[in-house]
Structure 1
Amino acid sequence: MDFVEGNLIWFEYFERNYSFFSTMLASSGAPSFRNRFLEFVIEELKDEVDITEEKNKGLSKDVILKFFGTAIVGIVESYFTNGIPEPAQVVAEQVGILLERNL
């Protein structure tokens, strides 16, 4: 499965459970939820980062993982706070394309 397909699954799930995720990201427990979600995203990306070849050669795997993990979590937060007015499918596809280009 490529990044676009994987992101579609995530964002379709987010869309189906919109009220839960929007509440979690707006509640007083949001920092805790955000940190756990970030840990999950980084764990999911670990096997996709290759620092031995091409565009990421010589870069720190930890920096790459934190950079893209934080970016993904930020996009999801923006989606739920109406910072991104695009439909979930559009956001998922574009995030997937960005990941494919850079990882």
Structure 2
Amino acid sequence: MLTMDRRIRKSQKAIKMAFIELMIEKKFDQITIQDISDRADVSRRTIYLHYMDKLDLLDKLIEEHIDEMRKLCDSAGDDADYIDTGLLWFEYFESHYLFFSAILASKGDTFFRNRFLEFFLQKLKNEENDMPAGSKQGLTDGEDVDIQFLGAAIVGVVEWWFKNEKPHSPSFMAQRVGSLLERNLEADFLLA
């Protein structure tokens, strides 16, 4: 049974890598299951054992990365500031550069962008809810606008970083993004 698990993991890894490589070379709509099968050196049947179609494969890849980012954020602990958390994010992005650059360059980027934005919006909402009662003005009508703005800004900066082939280090990006988030939250507090 252990051998079977190892073969399944090996096949899935080959399928995912083939798919990512193909997304760099072709538009998402042009990629076929046969292309993935040929590149991964597995049968089409093997692909269909694990995934319904290429959209399912894309969805599972995205979910896998978002789950990993959630685990990273959870492992950072409650005392981590935005800079520390940003460093975890940008180091993760850098270590999975092939996936993120492929997804942002492909037609799957809209689907990915929406899922990515959902992740950051949830993290920001959780941060806002975790702030001590005396340090925030409470839930306001405008808070959803603020969170939407910050989430879209983070996603935009990450997209820019990849599309410009990582012009700055993860630590630089974490410092800048973390500082901007902290400044925005301080401004909200001062306006309260």
2:142 alignment counterpart? 60
Instruction: Return the alpha-carbon distance in structure 2 between the equivalents of residues 84 and 20 of structure 1.
Output: 14
Per-residue Cα deviation, 1:13-68 (whole angstroms, up to 9, x for no partner) = 00011111010111111100000000110000003237517xxx966111001100
Distance 2:104 2:116 in 1: 10
Q: Are 1:40 and 2:125 matched, yes or no? A: no
Residue equivalent to 2:167: 85
Give 1 or 2 for the bigger CA radius of gyration: 2
Q: Supply the distance in 2 between the matched residues of 1:72 and 1:17 (Cα, whole angstroms).
A: 18
> Which runs of 5 or more structure 2 residues have no equivalent in the other structure?
1-79, 186-192
- Structure 1 counterpart of 2:156: 74
Quick one: distance in 2 between partners of 1:45 and 1:88?
A: 20
Change (3 A) 1:83 1:68: farther
Cα 1:21–1:84, aligned 2, differ >3 Å: closer, same or farther? closer
Any runs of at least 4 consecutive aligned residues in structure 1 with deviations exceeding 6 A, and if so which?
A: none
The residue that corresponds to 2:83 in the other structure is 4
Match of 1:16 in 2: 95
**1:27 corresponds to:** 106
Amino acid at match of 1:33: F
User: Match of 2:168, SS?
Assistant: coil
1:97 aligns to 2:179 (yes or no): yes
Q: Using structure 2 for the length normalisation, give the TM-score.
A: 0.48
- Aligned twin of 2:18: none
1:39 partner amino acid:
E
Letter in 1 for 2:145: V
- What is the CA distance between 1:84 and its match in structure 2? 6.0
CA–CA separation in structure 2 for the residues paired with 1:52 and 1:75: 28
Give the length in aligned residue pairs.
100
Q: Cα 1:83–1:65, aligned 2, differ >3 Å: closer, same or farther?
A: farther
CA RMSD of aligned residues (A): 1.9
